């Protein structure tokens, strides 16, 4: 399954491809119309169409490179600049299109260059291009230089801004996803470190004492059997106490707090773009039942994030009954995952019940019941 940044990238790229295709059709229509009216010869028309297609294709390629953070595409920028000059130059010589619309093709190249060239160079290129086109339009058409200047100035601002926003939007989505992934990895690392510290604190002293007493017992075995037996009894006692402490620590890690889990699930789902509503009435439940429901909430939220494109999720806890309902299920589940199977087994051992099934309305309902 594609990640959310990959999906966002595909949407943005297809949006870009579609926009360029529509623009190509728009400009091509003017070129063909000019040729049909006798204002351009077929060879000129063909050359203009080829140049136009090249400008739009290289714009897409350069913008796609910007999405992937590749090195400066100097060759593509240079070829695109030559094609842009050819398209605008052929229009200037043959005048296949009247008015100032066609010259705005030059700003497509300026927009692609905005992603790589320094700001001062873009400002200089934009100023020179705008001034030159405004002077040309005012001398070859009925438009005043003020009107031409405003038209081209608007293109000089909108095209680079739109292109920059395209890339900025993608990079923002990608960085947000990377940030969430980094936070998750950091949380796991911190938990491992905490568990390692706890094990060291629990077992470090006990194991050191056990080692010393074992060595002492080995030395006393041939000299003082009674004292050696006493020391070994102490070793057994320390080992049993250490085992109990480890079990308590592990059980503590296995237990979950229901309120904290609900808050964490809400934050995770809303960060993923799903509106989460929670109604919980579980204050009277005993701690084991609350822990079981907390595990069900965690597994249910994991299922929502991994296997659906949910936009809303509701969590209801009434006594010992939990129900999680989410949308975004577009196909029947291929089978119950290992997480849900494990949760069902845990519920059954505790005397509860568990079910997780999709509905014909495109929702997925997880229901768990524990002894109150």
Q: Where are the domains of the chain?
A: 4-177, 181-254, 258-369
Please report the DSSP string for 280-304 in residue order. EE-TTS-HHHHHHHHHHHHHHHHHH
Q: Which residues of the chain have pLDDT under 70?
A: 1-5, 34, 38-40, 69-71, 91-103, 137-138, 140-145, 147-148, 181, 184, 187-188, 191, 194-195, 197-206, 208-209, 245, 247-256, 271, 330-338, 372
Q: Give residue for tokens 């292109």.
A: 163
How far, in Å, are 48, 49, 169, 216, 252 from residue 44 at the CA level? 6, 9, 39, 101, 79
How far, in Å, are 28, 47, 50, 53 from residue 80 at the CA level? 18, 15, 12, 10
Stated length of the chain: 372
**258-369: which CATH topology?**
Heat Shock Protein 90 (3.30.565)
Which CATH code for domain 181-254? Answer: 1.20.5.1930
pTM score > 0.95 for this model? no
Q: Are 289 and 372 in contact (CB under 8 A)?
A: yes
pLDDT digits (tens, 9 = 90+) for 56-76: 888 888 887 877 766 677 788
pLDDT digits (tens, 9 = 90+) for 192-235: 776 676 666 666 666 766 777 777 777 777 777 777 777 778 77
- Using DSSP, how many helices (H) and how many strands (E) does the chain show? 10, 5
């Amino acid at each position: 399954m594609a990640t959310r940044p990959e999906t966002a990238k595909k949407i943005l790229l297809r949006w870009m491809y579609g926009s360029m295709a529509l623009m190509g059709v728009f400009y091509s229509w003017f070129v063909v119309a000019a040729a049909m009216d006798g204002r351009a010869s077929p060879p000129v028309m063909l050359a203009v169409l080829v140049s136009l297609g090249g400008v739009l294709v290289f714009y897409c390629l350069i913008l796609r490179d910007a999405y992937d953070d590749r090195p400066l595409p100097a060759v593509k920028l240079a070829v695109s600049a030559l094609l842009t000059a050819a398209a605008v130059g052929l229009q200037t010589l043959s005048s296949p299109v009247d008015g100032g619309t066609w010259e705005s093709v030059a700003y497509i190249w300026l927009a692609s260059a905005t992603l790589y060239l320094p700001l001062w160079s873009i400002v200089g290129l934009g100023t020179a291009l705008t001034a030159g086109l405004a002077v040309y339009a005012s001398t070859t058409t009925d438009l005043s230089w003020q009107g031409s200047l405003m038209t081209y100035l608007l293109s000089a601002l909108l095209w680079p801004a739109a292109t920059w926003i395209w890339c900025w939007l993608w990079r923002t989505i990608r960085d947000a996803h990377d940030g969430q992934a980094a936070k998750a990895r950091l949380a796991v690392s911190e938990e491992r470190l905490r568990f390692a510290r706890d094990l060291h604190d629990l077992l470090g002293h006990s194991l050191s004492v056990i080692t010393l007493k074992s060595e002492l017992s080995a030395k006393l075995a041939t000299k003082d059997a009674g004292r050696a037996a006493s020391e070994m009894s102490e070793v057994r006692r320390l080992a049993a106490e250490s085992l109990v402490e480890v079990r308590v620590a592990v059980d503590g890690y296995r237990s979950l707090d229901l309120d904290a889990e609900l808050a964490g699930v809400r934050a995770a789902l809303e960060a993923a773009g799903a509106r989460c509503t929670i109604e919980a009435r579980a204050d009277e439940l005993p701690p084991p039942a609350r822990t079981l429901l907390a595990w069900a909430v965690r597994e249910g939220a994991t299922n929502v994030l991994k296997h659906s494109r949910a936009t809303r999720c509701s969590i209801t806890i009434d006594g010992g009954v939990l129900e999680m309902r989410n949308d975004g299920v577009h196909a029947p589940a291929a089978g119950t995952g290992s997480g849900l199977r494990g949760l069902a087994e845990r519920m059954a051992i505790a005397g509860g019940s568990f079910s997780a099934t999709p509905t014909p309305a495109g929702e997925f309902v997880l229901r768990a019941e524990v002894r109150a």
